[in-house]
Amino acid sequence: MEAHAIPDFEGDRMAWMARYLLALVVVMVLFLPGCSVRDITGETPAGTCCQAVEENGGPREEANESNRRLECLTTRLIKKVPIWMAEHHVPGVSIALIKGREIVWSHQFGAKKTGVEGNVDEETVFEACSMSKPLFAYAVMRLVEENILDLDEPVDSYLSEPYLPHEPNAGAITARMVLNHTTGLPNWREGGRRAGVLNLELKHGPGERFTYSGEGMWYLQRVVEHLTETPINEYMERTLMSRIGMTRSSYVWQDRYVENNAHGHDKKGAPKTYRHYTEGNTAFSLYTTPIDYARYLILMMDTDAREDFQLRAATIDQMLTIESQRNEDIYYGLGWGLAGIPERPYVFHGGSNGSGFRCHGRFYRDDGSGIVIMTNADGGAAVYSKILEQAYP
């Protein structure tokens, strides 16, 4: 009699279960959303995609993952920023995010002035503080391209008389030294500009080492105004700001700002005495919005000069090449700070005005991303630092 094998029902059932579990794992890997943004607080906000999963690769999946990360970050910021503002007594914050060299998100928080009706919106003007300097640097480099100004020629040579006649060594200061902060000039003279140039003395020889200096920018501004025969705000407006859509920006106060401007506050969140800058100063007097300033960051990342006002790619590279060193982690090019080297280099500039404003802007050339953050209180640096930790963990 022919023998017949006894069916192994238990083995078949186990094999079927194994195939089912394998299929389930595949489905989860393919379709479960993920987000690589890290929550430094250890919390995962409800309704967001902040559980990281392995990426599958491919252009479509990479785009989806990038969008999920953006959604995760913005949801996190909307939740966390008001908490940080309360902790550090900052009434108002405005943010613009750049992705792929485009502004993809902006959001505003809080009030323009404590105790006064009116919330911050996209059009609210802040003081850009020292972020005034990189914008001016772009205009200076345009004059260099046009052979109107030489980076390595003493700037005194463009004036009818020495800027600092009591400081003979100051005659060696060049535009390059101004832009990379090696002039030897202090940040500001004792007693302010009203004290006169005799109160302005070199801290060291020109070109010797890094010394951050607003005075240097003011000096170079005098030279640019002399060469162009134009007040600096008018020159910046005509040659750059109007060309890139910075319609809410100016180096001098404009009456139209009264309707929508942020007011500065102290560390306790109390309003400070407000002043209007009626004379342009390229070291600190720029009024602008995060969206306007983000347009400038995008311009800096655009190396395909199609318009006559744009710098050539080689000039942009020159601006973003290390020229001087501020400390162990921070370097300077021409007008810009450089950090994150060598892990992931980024370009940045911060700002701090005594009138009660703190701000920060940075961008990454490798992927065209960036951020601009503006706050209206002395405690704003603590808030924007936490925002940066979330955006670039």
* Domains in the chain, CATH or no CATH each: 1-88 (no CATH), 91-391 (3.40.710.10)
Q: What gap in Å lies between CA 241 and CA 285, rounded to an integer?
A: 14
Matching residue, tokens 């060598």 = 342
C-alpha 65/C-alpha 170 separation (Å) is: 54
Query: Concatenated DSSP letters for 143-198?
Result: HHHTTSS-TTSBGGGGSSS-S-TT-GGGGG-BHHHHHTT-S---SS-TT-GGG-GG
* Contact in structure between 357 and 113 (CB atoms under 8 Å): no
Q: How many CB atoms lie within 10 A of CB 153?
A: 12
Rounded (5°) CA angle 371-372-376: 145
Give yes or no for a contact between 227 and 158, defined as CB atoms under 8 angstroms apart.
yes
Per the CB < 8 A criterion, the answer to whether 128 and 359 are in contact is yes
What pLDDT does 19 receive?
54
Residues of the chain with pLDDT under 50: 1-11, 13, 16, 20-55
Please answer whether residues 145 and 136 qualify as being in contact, where contact means their C-beta atoms are separated by less than 8 angstroms: no
From the list 87, 71, 116, 179, the residue with the least C-alpha distance to 381 is 87
Which one-letter DSSP state was computed for residue 338? E
Helix (H) or strand (E) holding 233: helix 232-239
Q: What is the pLDDT of residue 29?
A: 35
Confirm if 323 and 231 have CB atoms less than 8 A apart.
Answer: no
DSSP-derived 3-state class of residue 332: strand
